[in-house]
Amino acid sequence: MTIVTFMGPFVILLPQIRRIITKRTVEGLDLRGLQMGTTCTLGWLIYGVLNDLPLVWVVNLAGLALLIWITRLFLIFSTEIILKKHLRIPIIFSAFLLLVATQSIKPIGLLCMVISFTSPLPQLRRAFKDLHLTGLSLLTYVNAIIVHIAWITYGFQNTDPNIIYPNIYGMTIAITLFIRVIRSRRPSLSII
């Protein structure tokens, strides 16, 4: 399962990157969701470093690089993004985590869980609002489900509820988005 968790950012984000590049659209992607995902990934990177969890920080460093690539693609294919505004929240959250860490690293996991629970909500809202989700990769959500299962297993192996709970939640969001993307491509299906 460690290899699956290590490959997580690549198998989740590279299909999305490929879809954006080939379709030349970000239609269906939510900028706030991307911003919150970047914030969340940066938070987990800090959590991994402060708790000496190499797998956690390496994976999130790779994920951060891929999210920056998606942000770059947003700049190319959308007029919706202003980079300065996009980066403000992740930077402020990271500074806040580091400030909290000067007192104690215990609340870092809790703060990362809170961001993990809120970060997919803008994308989820957009997926139910938009009829056409051409910019979303179906493979991204299939892979996300598998990767969340691997992280849940990792969390149980390390008895870390900070990793277990957000990944159970993330898996349910990935399943919901998977179904929604299928439905947007085949409107005659009556799933969700």
- Residues 68, 18 contacting (CB under 8 angstroms): no
Tokens of 89: 């929240």
Q: Is the pLDDT of residue 103 over 50?
A: yes
Amino acid residing at 77: F
Domain edges within the chain? 2-185
Tokens of 6: 């290590």
User: Whole-angstrom Cα distance, residue 143 to residue 153?
Assistant: 15
Per-position DSSP letters for 74-135, written without gaps between them: HHHH-SS--HHHHHHHHHHHHHHHHHHHTT-SHHHHHHHHHHHHHTTHHHHHHHHH-S--TT
User: Whole-angstrom Cα distance, residue 118 to residue 128?
Assistant: 16
Confidence of residue 188 (pLDDT cuts 50, 70, 90): low
- Give the rounded percent of residues in the chain with a pLDDT score beyond 90: 37
Q: Is the pLDDT of residue 190 over 60?
A: no
Q: Is the pLDDT of residue 131 over 80?
A: no
Q: Give residues with Cβ within 8 angstroms of 38, minimum separation 6.
A: 64, 67, 68, 71, 86, 87, 90
Q: Is the pLDDT of residue 80 over 80?
A: no
Q: Is the pLDDT of residue 157 over 90?
A: yes
The confidence score (pLDDT) of residue 128 equals: 86
- Residues 44, 56 contacting (CB under 8 angstroms): yes
Distance between alpha carbon 50 and the CA centroid of its chain, in Å?
A: 20
Q: Is the pLDDT of residue 7 over 80?
A: yes
What is the pLDDT averaged over residues 177-189? Answer: 79
